Amino acid sequence: MTQSPLIAPSILSADFADFGAEIRAAEAQGADWIHVDVMDGHFVPNLTFGPPLVKAIRRHVTTVMDVHLMIAPVDPYIEAFAEAGADILTAHVEAGPHIHRTLQAIRGAGCKAGLALNPGTPPEAAAPLLDMVDLICVMTVNPGFGGQSFIRSQLATIRRLREMVGDRPIRLEIDGGVTPETAPLAAAAGGDVLVAGSAVFRGGSAEAPDAYGDNIRALRAAVAEAAPA
Ligand code: DX5
Ligand code: ZN
């Protein structure tokens, strides 16, 4: 990687009563993208929100709205999330039997298509889909909750996917447990978008957002220090 990875704060760790202000603060403090975690209480054991909320927060996002769908089924909701203003819509390969159709539908709805892989899924699951995706999201926790520990065995999956992607214009996003300790490992393995929830939003608030900036700079600095000169 020649360029430093993008930082995508996950609003799962922000104040749910004040998403607009939280997003504006995170962007003002250096966020490259805003990562939006949609959970259905079925595919993952937690519930967050649906298209109306995504639509409501859209106008606060001036960077890229990166919507991670942890829902099954996916297809009945693609149009609604596209209309809500998602730039990237990411679906899980494990969420149903027809991921190829799902990715087609996401692009057909005008969004960039992302494919997410749980820690139990081999990287080769992405192989038939590489020409249909703009992003691959490697889960480095079991999805459902913020604040979990990075699963280091996923580094091999990241490395393998980096090889498989080759020179295709596909972002390799790392999601879960990203901290100043683990970010350099994820980046060295080939990740070029780092999602971080608790590691960005800890210690601050929309009214006192300097901590968000400190946290984002700490992630960038950790990656830069570890990178070969
Ligand atoms: C986990 C979500 C992540 C989560 C990451 O299911 O997909 O995006 O917000 O949170 P941290 O960075 O706290 O592990
Ligand atoms: Zn996520």
Question: What does the pLDDT look like over 15-69, one tens digit per residue?
Answer: 999 999 999 999 999 999 999 999 999 999 999 999 999 999 999 999 999 999 9
Task: State both tokens at 13.
Answer: 């760790």
**What is the DSSP track for 11-23?**
GGGS-TT-HHHHH
pLDDT tens digit string along 55-95? 999 999 999 999 999 999 999 999 999 999 999 999 999 99
131 is catalytic: no
Q: Give the type of residue at 120.
A: G
**Residue-range domains of the chain with CATH:** 6-226 (3.20.20.70)
CB of 36 sitting under 6 A from ligand 1: no
pLDDT above 90 as % of the chain: 97
Is the omega angle on the peptide bond into residue 73 within 30 degrees of 0, that is, cis?
yes
Q: How confident is the model at residue 1 (pLDDT cuts 50, 70, 90)?
A: very low
Give the chain's mean pLDDT.
Answer: 97
Tell me which residue has its CA closest to atom 1 in ligand 1: 143
Instruction: Report the candidate in 126, 127, 177, 173 with the shortest Cα–Cα distance to residue 147.
Output: 177
pLDDT at 108: 98
Catalytic residue (choose from 37, 40, 87, 192): 37
For residue 2, what pLDDT is reported? 54
- Whether this model's pTM surpasses 0.85: yes
**Ligand 1 pocket check for 180: Cβ under 6 Å:** no
Nearest to 73 by CA among 36, 99, 37, 104: 99
Any catalytic annotation for residue 192?
Answer: no
